[in-house]
Amino acid sequence: MQSEDLLEWLGISKTPKKLVGEVTYFTCLKMLSETLGKMPIKFYQETEKGIEKAKPNASYKLLRKRPNPLMTPSTFWSTVELNRNHYGNAYVWLRKEFKRQTYGGSYDIQDMWIMPSDCVQVVFDDVGFFGGKGSIWYIYTDRYSGEQFFFRSHEVLHFKTSYSFDGIMGLPVREILKSTVEGGLESQTFMNNLYKSGLTAKAALEYTGDLDQKSKEKLVAGFESFANGSDNAGKIIPVPLGMKLVPLNIKLTDSQFFELKKFNALQIAGAFGIKPNQINDYEKSSYANSEMQQLSFYVDTELFILKQYEEEIDYKILSPEELDEGYFYKFNEKVILRTDSKTQMETLAKAVDSGIYKRNEAREILNLPIAEGGDVLTVNGNSIPVTMAGRQWTKGGEE
């Protein structure tokens, strides 16, 4: 029942292929994909002294500069996130090459390629058919040649939505909210048709006598040529003698069309974890409220997504030796939590004066070059340890 071709052959209704035409659905996909594309990935190592920046390796250069010859990191990660949300799963093939050494060798990642999610089939080998019982295989079918390629689990980065019952395959939001999203698409189609008709409602034509079907269609076509279209809006419609055109006043306000459309949009956005101000709904929003909504968006929505990406990248890209040595990747979430210049400078100044940041660390956040003597933690001279409180009042000569 997961096969769309089978459902279509059986005549079972499914989500329209042009679903991205629904503006709220498109906005949510755009917001989530661009948010991930904004955040650069960092390479760290956890040592006895704490977390430090790690020396770049070959994998980090790919993730940071160019995953493959055709894509920048921003385009690469935004495309992965778009596939993950629209199809429920996103797949990245790690093209590896065996590097022979004096004793044995290792597989080095040459580049990374996004496999279209609708061309990938995930197979769980529970009987050892492919030679590894209990393993997961990814079958990619080229949509042009029809050729199939088989990849092991460690060769594919698999990112899924949080809505999963087996922990292996994720379900897309469009399937969960199928009726809601289709309703939004139909409302958009209705508005488009209303604009095409010059914002005029339907009308009833009253006439005396009887006309055959061909004559009725010809008569209606004649009226529509004068009434439909934005160019004919507000113009006079000629009505033959003995006929009467009675408009059917169907007001959008009476049917609460716009209220229902807004409620429908909020439901779709809520399913994606998108806040109202991010879909341009500022009805109950203020400047301070919008800033908190941005922070809430990171905590409630992006934090899980980033954690999943980081865990999958660490496990599939880093070697067991690198994992044991404390290496890990992390997306820089600070790019989506930036404040205005004044607040940023005040925050950094307090962090430096309190001994939390070194001056060069603060300058690095501002994209400024390091300064001599800036790698030393400094504090305000009036600050003293709690254990020395009151000693400033002791008389001279005492230790």
Q: Is the pTM of this model over 0.85?
A: no
Structure tokens at 70: 């055709």
pLDDT at 363 (0 to 100): 85
Domain locations in the chain as residue ranges:
12-194+254-337, 202-248, 339-380
pLDDT at 234 (0 to 100): 54
Q: Choose among 365, 44, 20: nearest CA to 172.
A: 20
For the chain, strand residue ranges (E) read 41-47, 50-53, 89-100, 105-115, 120-125, 135-141, 148-152, 156-160, 203-207, 243-247, 327-331
Please return the burial class of 178, using the count of CB atoms within 10 Å of its CB with bins 0-12, 13-18 and 19+.
middle
- pLDDT in tens for each of the 399 residues of the chain? 456 565 444 444 444 445 555 778 888 888 899 999 999 999 999 888 888 888 988 889 999 999 999 999 999 999 999 999 999 999 999 998 866 655 545 678 899 999 999 999 998 877 666 566 668 889 999 988 889 999 988 899 999 998 888 888 998 887 777 756 666 666 666 666 655 555 455 667 777 777 778 877 777 777 666 666 555 555 666 777 667 777 665 665 555 556 667 777 777 788 888 887 777 666 665 555 666 777 788 888 888 999 999 999 999 999 888 999 999 999 988 877 766 677 778 888 888 888 888 888 888 877 788 888 888 887 776 666 656 656 767 766 555
pLDDT at 104 (0 to 100): 47
